[in-house]
Each structure stands twice: as structure tokens, then as C-alpha cells.
A and B are shown apart, each in its own frame.
Chain A
């Protein structure tokens, strides 16, 4: 089959690799019809995530048709499914509590040591996201082996377009969980750092959960415009001072809840960011974390900080004092996708949530490397790239 493989920093290629096969009883093989490039994939592309190996197949946002099932799968050939990016068993203590991304059994035993060492505990497996998250082959490919197919994938009714449901695999539940973690109360003002897919779905979700106002922060005019479409007010951090603007826009109180949807590659030349970049390049610290620092400083006293953004390692100058003194609540984590999928599928089918607005580019899988380059270099216009393995090359051009 053809698949997008990683070879190093800013070097991804579509190669011919072996077709996947059923290995364990609960497996299914999916023929991919749509797969997206995620902001998290850019962390791999930029070489920030350790334990990658040349030839690894990327991709954790995908859907398709079931073409083969193991004896323990509950899926049927021909069904269309969206696959959650987290690989979780459904039967451990954490899965029982719907903390799917904390599943005990999603990672091969040997791959659990790294996370056990750096995080204290191993987490769930992830598709196409380095060997410390399991080394599973990802979905930017024609076919994928999906473990635990009886508890992960959600079946999509006939006649619903891929573009409407593809984002159930990751970014829609991630934006939703981020808003839920912000514990929004009526009358609240919620600030969202980052108007990428996760931030934009956080904006939509926050309004659906009853936020009175949402203030979206980014520096890309087109992305801010998308946030405005959903009713958000905006701050362009290149034109305005974010902390000062947030306080002025909230009568000096600060936002009741702050959502950091930026993550470890925060843009911009802020003093702490520049220091982080120097440290990152000398391996003194691994994450650039301007947005989370700012979110903690701006948040009102007793408020909530929700952090869907991914951080992999250590940061310094973390405003622990502000977090403590102001009595803030911080809630974060990889998304428990399986928990949110059914409810969000209904919301999509009922037309309460629109996801298609996000897709700026649709490309054949063969042009995946180009898709990465565009998503990386032209972030303003290129909001989301969807790859279609079956898509005709000529038609795309």
C-alpha cells in the first residue's frame, strides 16, 4: 500500500510499504477514505517529538471502510467508521472510568518504559505518533490495522459525508473536552489561545456550553476571522498586548476560564519564548510555553485554566505562584475521544456543530508531503488539510 512516512525533520514521503494484516483477535483493518494532518503532526514534522524512527507511518485522524475483522471484533465488513486517535482497551480500570487516554493496556509492554520513566506512568497508545506512544502505524495510508476495534471506532450512518464526521477522530472531541474542562458557567467570559482547529472547536463548544463571551487570540487574520464567525471577539497578539487587552475587555476581572490551544510550538517573539527557543535548541528545556504562562497570568482569581495543548517535557518559569495564589484550577490531558464520540456524532447529525468550515485543502494521499509543507508554511490560509487516498490525482490538480 501507499503511506506517508517520516524520515526526519521536514522530511516526509509517500512510500510503498507492506499492507497491514489482522494480528490480534480484536483487530480490524480499515481502508482509509479520509485522513487529516493535525497540529500535533507538525510537532513531529518539526522534530520536537523523541522516539521517532525513519519509515514510521504518520496520521491519527482517519476514517474509512471496514475491510477485514478479527474474531473478537464487533465491526462488520463494509461498515464506515471513524477511528479515535487514542488506542484504548475498554476493560481496564481507567477505561471503566472513561479515562480512555489513560488506558493501561493500549501500549505494547516494551513501549511503556519511556513514559513510565518521564511521566511516572504509561499512557494509552496513539496512532502514528512515535514509539513512546506505541509505535503504531498511522492513518495517513491506504489501510490501517486498528486494535481494540470493538471499543474504539464509531459506525457512521449511510449517506453522511466524510468531511462532516472525520474530525470526531480527534480535534472536535479535543475542543469539546477543552471547553468542558473550563467548567463554563452562565455569564462567563472564556479566552482561547490559538485559533487552529482545536482552538476553533473550543470556541464553538464554549458557546454551546453557555459562555456569554469568547475571546479568541491568534496572529493569523484568517484564523481570527473564522473565530469571529462563531461569535468570538478577537485579539491579534501582534497588534495588541494580550494580557492588557484581556483585562480591559473584562473590566479588569480577567477571563473566567482560559483555554490554551497552542502548545509546545508557540509562535511570537516574547522574551520568555526566545529563552525557551534557545534552551530547546540546546536541550536545556524542551517546550516553548508562552501561551500557558499568559493564560495563568490573565485568568481571573479562582478561575479555571484548561490546557488541551500538547506539552511533552519540562518548562521552566512556570508561574506556579500565580496558579497557587489565585486559587486556579488547571485541567489538561490527551482527549478521552471514545467518551465524547457518540454525543458529538449526534450533535453533528442534528446540525448543532459544523465541522466542514475548517477544511481548507483536500488532496490525494500522494500529495501528502505537499500538504505538510503547506500546513506548516501557510498557517493562516491553510487551516486543515484532508488527504483522500482514493482521490484522483488529475482531479486534484
Chain B
């Protein structure tokens, strides 16, 4: 728990600090790729190992990460990410796993030359009181500007913290209920919604 929190006089996570310094909070990520930071935690009523395993298979991620089209394995520890961009385009980059502790955490960073330099980590911790697992996503990325800025804006729907929260909610729904809630009542509406 301690490695994603830096003690600064209270027990609140650094991602909730009023004056956010991204470099402190990403901890063992090393030098973060980018200088905007979001961190969100959700409680999922499932064991840590199960959640870790599901996330560690990156091909599962597009099911609940709204803007990720596909994640293809390149070789051990590296994967090719395709992410939605405006006007029906996509952007791609290669990510490397920088740390992998089974049942505990996965950290990754984009390789040099990525259109959208980014890095992140996902932590799995036992929730107190037998309530399952605390899943914390921490993502650092370069702030918007120019074309890439538009991509980012689309990717994070303008407000990265909101997008992270929504993605985590979808992950929770999939893990707890086996499906992702939708109010669509026809297949056509549903296709439009997930597109």
C-alpha cells in the first residue's frame, strides 16, 4: 500500500492531493512518461488473483477500456496498442511491462517515439473486511496539444479522471456480474454505443 502513497502529513493517496506532483506518485514506475496524472480506486467483490489474471491478459482490456481498440502481444512483456482517435482514425504505440508482480501489480510504459507517451500501473490490494479487492489505476500521460491533444481528449473524453473512473466501473461490472451494463434496447443501439 505504501508504495503508491507518499506520506505528507495525512493518510490520503497522493493522487488526491490539492497540489499534484505527478513524479512523486508514480513511485516505482521510474521516470513517468508524461506529466498529467490520474489515479482512481474501485472496490471489486472478487479475489485479487482473479482480477490480476484477467487484467494481465491484455487482450481482455478492450472489453472494458472504452477507447482501446486492440492490444496485440509483440513478444514477452511488449504489446502493440491501438487506440481510437478522432475522425474514425486510430493511433498506435508499443508498451513494455516495467514491473509485474502476480496478484499485486502491473506497470507499463510506452516505448520512445510513441505518439502519446504514457505510462501507468494497476495495483491490486486486499480490501479490508473481506470486501474483495481494491483496484487502483494510476496513469501518467502527456497533456494535450495539437493533433495529439485531440487524440488525448478523445481518448480520455476531455477529463482523464472521469474516463479512468468509467473504465474501472466497467471492469468492476464485468468481474462482478459477468457483463457490462447498457441501457440499449436494440442490437443496433448497442453497436452504436460501443463503437
A residues near B (Cβ < 8 Å) are 18-21, 23-26, 72, 89-93, 96, 104-113, 116, 125, 134-137, 144-145, 147-148
Of all chain B residues, the one with the shortest Cβ separation from A141 is B185
**Residue B181 contacts which of A91, A96, A105, A113 (CB distance < 8 angstroms)?**
A105
Q: Which residues of B have CB within 8 Å of A104?
A: 172, 176
**Residue A92 contacts which of B45, B165, B187 (CB distance < 8 angstroms)?**
B45
CA distance A104 to B167 in the complex (A): 14
Question: Is there contact, CB below 8 Å, between A107 and B179?
Answer: no
Q: Which residues of A have CB within 8 Å of B180?
A: 24, 108-109
Which of B179, B180, B188 counts the most chain A CB atoms within 10 A? Answer: B179
Q: Which residues of A have CB within 8 Å of B172?
A: 104-105
Contact of A19 with B186 at beta-carbon distance under 8 Å, contacts A93-B45, A112-B169 already known: yes
Minimum C-beta distance from B172 to chain A (A): 7
The count of chain B contact residues (Cβ–Cβ below 8 Å) is 27
Which of B176, B177, B186 counts the most chain A CB atoms within 10 A? Answer: B177
Contact of A125 with B181 at beta-carbon distance under 8 Å, contacts A92-B176, A105-B173, A109-B166 already known: yes
Question: Is there contact, CB below 8 Å, between A26 and B45?
Answer: no
10 pairs from A and B in contact (CB 8 Å cutoff): A18-B186, A23-B182, A23-B184, A24-B179, A93-B45, A105-B176, A109-B181, A111-B183, A136-B183, A137-B183
Of all chain B residues, the one with the shortest Cβ separation from A20 is B185
B23 in the interface, Cβ–Cβ < 8 Å? Answer: no
Q: Which residues of A have CB within 8 Å of B166?
A: 109-110, 112-113
Minimum C-beta distance from A135 to chain B (A): 4
Question: Is there contact, CB below 8 Å, between A148 and B131?
Answer: no
Q: Which residues of A have CB within 8 Å of B173?
A: 89, 105, 109
B178 in the interface, Cβ–Cβ < 8 Å? Answer: yes
Determine the main DSSP class of A at the interface with B. loop
Q: Interface readout for B149-192 with A: 1 if CB under 8 Å, 0 if not? A: 00000000000001001110110110011111111111111100
Minimum C-beta distance from A140 to chain B (A): 14
Q: Which residues of A have CB within 8 Å of B181?
A: 24, 89, 105-109, 125, 134, 147
B residues near A (Cβ < 8 Å) are 43, 45, 131-132, 162, 165-167, 169-170, 172-173, 176-190
Question: Is there contact, CB below 8 Å, between B185 and A89?
Answer: no
Which of B45, B166, B182, B188 counts the most chain A CB atoms within 10 A? Answer: B182
Q: Which residues of B have CB within 8 Å of A116?
A: 165
Q: Which residues of B have CB within 8 Å of A20?
A: 185-186
Of all chain B residues, the one with the shortest Cβ separation from A104 is B172
Question: Is there contact, CB below 8 Å, between B183 and A134?
Answer: yes
Question: Is there contact, CB below 8 Å, between A25 and B178?
Answer: yes
Q: Which residues of B have CB within 8 Å of A18?
A: 185-186, 188-189
CA distance A72 to B176 in the complex (A): 14
Which of A25, A93, A105, A136 counts the most chain B CB atoms within 10 A? Answer: A105
Question: Is there contact, CB below 8 Å, between B183 and A89?
Answer: no
Question: Is there contact, CB below 8 Å, between A135 and B177?
Answer: no
Of all chain B residues, the one with the shortest Cβ separation from A90 is B177
Of all chain B residues, the one with the shortest Cβ separation from A148 is B177
Q: Which residues of B have CB within 8 Å of A109?
A: 166-167, 169-170, 173, 180-181
Question: Is there contact, CB below 8 Å, between A108 and B45?
Answer: no
Minimum C-beta distance from B9 to chain A (A): 25
Of all chain B residues, the one with the shortest Cβ separation from A26 is B179
Minimum C-beta distance from B68 to chain A (A): 14
CA distance A21 to B191 in the complex (A): 12
Question: Is there contact, CB below 8 Å, between A24 and B187?
Answer: no
Minimum C-beta distance from A93 to chain B (A): 5
CA distance A92 to B131 in the complex (A): 10
Minimum C-beta distance from A97 to chain B (A): 11
Of all chain B residues, the one with the shortest Cβ separation from A113 is B162
Question: Is there contact, CB below 8 Å, between B184 and A72?
Answer: no
Q: Which residues of A have CB within 8 Å of B45?
A: 91-93, 96
CA distance A92 to B133 in the complex (A): 12
Q: Which residues of A have CB within 8 Å of B179?
A: 24-26, 72
